[in-house]
Chain A
Amino acid sequence: MSPEPLVRVHDLRKRYDSVDAVCGVSFEIGAGEIFGLLGPNGAGKTTTVECIIGLREADAGDIHVCGIDARQQPRDVKQRIGAALQTTALQDKITPREALALFGSFYARSATPSQLLDRFAIADKADAPFDSLSGGQRQRLALALAFVNNPELVFLDEPTAGLDPQSRHELHDEIRRMKQDGHTVLLTTHYLEEAETLCDRVAIIDRGRIVACGAPHDLTARAKARPTCTLWTSQPLTNELFAGIGGVEDLSIDGATARFSSRRINAAVGEVLKRLDDRGIEVAELRVQRASLERVFLDVTSAADASGQP
């Protein structure tokens, strides 16, 4: 991570009536990173982001964005960030060109509508009313609005929610392009696979607290979950084949398919293959999977449940 974080959040707290929505959240985002904030519904990720971008006022804590105290100078921060909210909210009859011109007028420096229309591939809908745009076109317009001031930091709140696979794929490419262009991205998502493939680092937030933070591969490597082996063979399998192999756990057999996990996956798979060869059974397919981010997510959130943290 960069020694000069673009975002520094320390001990952020926000309370709604009797509910602690965010209690002591701290994290940093380096320049040029794609940082994912993950968490189940109601975990506090949206409140955290809204406090950073100035939609809500934090009760306590420090928020620094681009070196500016966001709680003291929210308008200065807004000049340097862009945001695309989960639902793109514009008037039915406004056109993309008008919306971009309007929002551009709110900033000290802004790109021209035509530049943004071309970059986000909505030039052919530039003068169409907003209510005639498809979901993907609306989301591209939302991104264009987020980039109207050429921001250093972009917040994307569930950017691919509700999009078809094609639009989602295009948006993933666009987010990668943002990183290539030197923008820093903070995104919230509930698609763990998306976070795993896009994000340089993720933080998992649960019940208002960060319960895990780091690069996706580091988190999966540290996960308590064991690697899993799935095996498809030419003949049906029996329990006898796996008897006595050290480290095989959670064995399940269904005809010619077997699945097991092991902390010593290399030795276990080698022994299984040797026994199959001895019996003349051919392997049709063999797959070994390490722990996924989803597994990590479930582990850390269930651990929080077990510890009874608020």
Chain B
Amino acid sequence: MTAFVQHFIVSLKLHLRNRMALVYGFIFPTIFLVAFWVLYRFEQVPLVRHMGELLTVTALGGACFGLPTTMVSERERGVWRRYRLAPVATATLVAGTIAARFVLLLAAAIVQLALAMALGMPWPAHPLELFVAFTLVSFAFIGLGLVIAMMADTVPAVQALGQCIFLPMLIIGGVAVPLATLPEWAQRLSSFFPGRYAVEAIHASVMGSGLTATRFAAAALILIGGAGLLASVMMFRWDAQQRFAAMRSRSWIAVALAAWIAVGLSAESTGRRARVPAQPASTGTATPPPQTAAAEPRPAPPVPDAPIVTTTPPASPAPAPVREPARTESTSPKPAPPTPVPLPQPATPAPPAGTATAPSVPPPAPPPPAGDTKHASWRDVTMADIDRDLIFTRLPPDEGVVTPIARLDEEPDPPIAAQLDKLSGALPSWAPGKVKDPVQRVRNLLYVAAVPDVFQMTDLEKFIPLVVYDHIQTEIPRDDLIKILYWIALHPFEGDDSAVDQLRPLGLNSGPADMETTRDRLSVYAVKLLGRITGKIKIE
């Protein structure tokens, strides 16, 4: 039997006899998968949108921690020094090591996929391309792991170096935290990390667009893996007495780094970074139209928590953070609730601690004052009211975490498209969308967009508003809709909210615990639709 095959088999056997390696290689990925499943439990298709992250974390952990830990540990105890006494080529031993590690990564990935499918995930859209994508991801990370193995003098040094790569890749490299939620500088930086391309390649193979749609990611992974492999072979050391700092060949580390830089610069220069929805500091698609007639000087850069509504001091008491009984709030020109105690600022009860709000992003806007004193009915609203009271430039960006809306040219992945088709087909017959009161009807329909936003149903939530907006505009005449939307924006805590518990016929989960946040989001979606209808928000 050849040296390669023998070394490959022995490496596999030794790994399977190492309990800690099995825990890190197989149990941890399973824990990650369960954690993602629990975290995104409201998604209709469990885990399908997270296999990119999950499989990338598996490959990253096994290749950047497991591989170098094994190699450095063997080098420290003299195994590799003993190998060197034999007439065997370095490349043969390294190839056996790489092949064994790849098989282990692949086995862990298959376990994850099988478990995910047991939890309801469908068969990957392109299984063969997924295999190719995972192979490329493994190649890139194994190259990186070999570089770590050559740089680290001791096993603790492997842990330190590995964390230096693992954590940034997870947090700002697009592996664990969605790129869309990251600030501009982090998105730029992520272009230089292989983790981002790993997620992209696997995601495309699982979700439908296929590996051919992510050629750049595939090329980036090959380049980064190849450079790491070359650098590690040139820096290869057999003996623990050789210290990295004293090695003449240590400058080969520059080759591995150069690959990262080349990939990042290439992504920048080809505009690939723009594919990730930016988190604009300015306006995104909600570009302030010149004619926006805010009653006060236009704020300089919009900030997410700046108020959208600028009115005279609110006059109504803060609405109670509980579901209110249905009211026929406006079909008949009933007077607004009495406002005996003017409050100094819009009052939104603070969401209870631990409720499901978007992490690290402040609420988009305090609720509008609960009831202006100028009109008793939505029918009395005028464009002057809108121009005076609403500041569209302060809306959260459509590309952000809070109240996202997909671009018109953005194509959902097939599983998402299927869900949207179901939603679109069910909306016309959805009972809450047929109630007589037009304001309540619009409210109910806007809840269809607001609830998934509160649940953070990434990828799906941003497409739902487009479906909902289209349907609302078929239901309500434009002029009435403008007034109703303004009315809802200023009165988010009025009306019935029982519709949130009736979303299942639409293929959505019902019942967010945090109704205050849900009503907040509803009011923002109302203003966004209002801006689109009136041209206050320009859509490219």
A97 to B10 Cα, complex, angstroms: 11
Q: Mark B69-98, 1 if CB is under 8 A from A, else 0.
A: 000001001110111111110000000000
Nearest chain B CB to A128 CB, angstrom units: 13
A290 to B220 Cα, complex, angstroms: 76
Q: Is the CB of A102 within 8 A of B87?
A: no
Q: Is the CB of B82 within 8 A of A107?
A: no
Nearest chain B CB to A26 CB, angstrom units: 24
Nearest chain B CB to A157 CB, angstrom units: 11
Looking at A75, A78, A83, A106, the one whose CB has the most chain B CB atoms below 10 A away is: A106
Contacts of A145 in B (CB 8 A): 82
Picked from A75, A89, A94, A129, the residue with its CB within 8 Å of the CB of B87 is: A75
Q: Is the CB of B78 within 8 A of A107?
A: no
Q: Is the CB of A106 within 8 A of B79?
A: no
The chain A residue with its CB closest to the CB of B79 is A89
Q: Is the CB of A106 within 8 A of B86?
A: yes
Q: A98-B10, A105-B3 are in contact. Are A91 and B87 (CB under 8 A)?
A: no
Picked from B6, B10, B18, B87, the residue with its CB within 8 Å of the CB of A78 is: B87
B188 within 8 A of A: no
B269 within 8 A of A: no
Picked from A87, A105, A129, the residue with its CB within 8 Å of the CB of B78 is: A87
A91 to B17 Cα, complex, angstroms: 11
Q: Is the CB of A85 within 8 A of B82?
A: yes
B532 within 8 A of A: no
Contacts of B6 in A (CB 8 A): 101-102, 105
Nearest chain B CB to A138 CB, angstrom units: 12
Nearest chain B CB to A99 CB, angstrom units: 8
Q: Is the CB of B78 within 8 A of A106?
A: no
B196 within 8 A of A: no
A87 to B1 Cα, complex, angstroms: 27
Contacts of B74 in A (CB 8 A): 91
B291 within 8 A of A: no
Contacts of B18 in A (CB 8 A): 93
A27 within 8 A of B: no
The chain B residue with its CB closest to the CB of A142 is B82
A261 to B407 Cα, complex, angstroms: 105
Q: Is the CB of B77 within 8 A of A106?
A: no
Q: Is the CB of A94 within 8 A of B10?
A: yes
Contacts of B298 in A (CB 8 A): none
Q: Is the CB of A55 within 8 A of B81?
A: yes
Q: Is the CB of B85 within 8 A of A83?
A: yes
Picked from B1, B17, B88, B239, the residue with its CB within 8 Å of the CB of A55 is: B239
Q: Mark A74-117, 1 if CB is under 8 A from B, else 0.
A: 01101100010101111101100010011101111000000000
Nearest chain B CB to A98 CB, angstrom units: 6
Q: Is the CB of B81 within 8 A of A106?
A: no
Q: Is the CB of A55 within 8 A of B79?
A: no
Picked from B3, B5, B81, B88, the residue with its CB within 8 Å of the CB of A89 is: B81
A53 within 8 A of B: yes
Q: Is the CB of A78 within 8 A of B78?
A: no
Q: Mark A102-142, 1 if CB is under 8 A from B, else 0.
A: 11011110000000000000000000010000000000000
B7 within 8 A of A: yes
Q: Is the CB of B87 within 8 A of A79?
A: yes
A54 within 8 A of B: yes
Q: Is the CB of B14 within 8 A of A107?
A: no
Nearest chain B CB to A274 CB, angstrom units: 62
**Those of B360-403 within 8 Å (CB) of chain A:** none
B429 within 8 A of A: no
Q: Is the CB of A89 within 8 A of B86?
A: no
Nearest chain A CB to B254 CB, angstrom units: 24
Q: Is the CB of B7 within 8 A of A102?
A: yes
A192 to B144 Cα, complex, angstroms: 49
Q: A105-B6, A106-B3 are in contact. Are A78 and B85 (CB under 8 A)?
A: yes
Q: Is the CB of A54 within 8 A of B10?
A: no
Q: Mark A134-164, 1 if CB is under 8 A from B, else 0.
A: 0000000000010000000000000000000
Nearest chain B CB to A264 CB, angstrom units: 52
Q: A89-B81, A90-B79, A91-B79 are in contact. Are A105 and B2 (CB under 8 A)?
A: yes
Contacts of A75 in B (CB 8 A): 87
Contacts of B238 in A (CB 8 A): 55
Q: Mark A37-75, 1 if CB is under 8 A from B, else 0.
A: 000000000000000011100000000000000000001
B13 within 8 A of A: yes
Q: Is the CB of B78 within 8 A of A93?
A: no
A53 to B238 Cα, complex, angstroms: 14
A169 to B163 Cα, complex, angstroms: 50
Contacts of A106 in B (CB 8 A): 3, 83, 86-88
A89 to B77 Cα, complex, angstroms: 6
Nearest chain B CB to A31 CB, angstrom units: 21
The chain A residue with its CB closest to the CB of B83 is A106
A30 to B18 Cα, complex, angstroms: 46
Q: Is the CB of B85 within 8 A of A54?
A: yes
**Those of B6-22 within 8 Å (CB) of chain A:** 6-7, 10, 13-14, 17-18
A85 to B239 Cα, complex, angstroms: 13
Q: A75-B87, A78-B86, A107-B86 are in contact. Are A85 and B81 (CB under 8 A)?
A: yes
Nearest chain A CB to B97 CB, angstrom units: 12
Nearest chain A CB to B81 CB, angstrom units: 7
A105 to B9 Cα, complex, angstroms: 12
A108 to B2 Cα, complex, angstroms: 10
The chain B residue with its CB closest to the CB of A79 is B87
Given contacts A75-B87, A93-B18, 6 further A-B contacts (CB under 8 A): A54-B85, A55-B84, A83-B85, A93-B14, A107-B86, A107-B87
Q: Which B positions have Cβ atoms within 8 angstroms of A?
A: 1-3, 5-7, 10, 13-14, 17-18, 74, 77-79, 81-88, 238-239
Closest 4 CB pairs of A and B: A89-B78, A106-B86, A78-B87, A105-B6
Q: Which A positions have Cβ atoms within 8 angstroms of B?
A: 53-55, 75-76, 78-79, 83, 85, 87-91, 93-94, 98, 101-103, 105-108, 129, 145
**23 A-B contacts, Cβ less than 8 Å apart?**
A53-B85, A55-B85, A55-B238, A55-B239, A75-B87, A85-B82, A89-B77, A89-B78, A89-B81, A89-B82, A90-B79, A91-B74, A93-B13, A101-B1, A101-B6, A102-B7, A102-B10, A105-B1, A105-B3, A106-B83, A106-B86, A107-B86, A108-B87
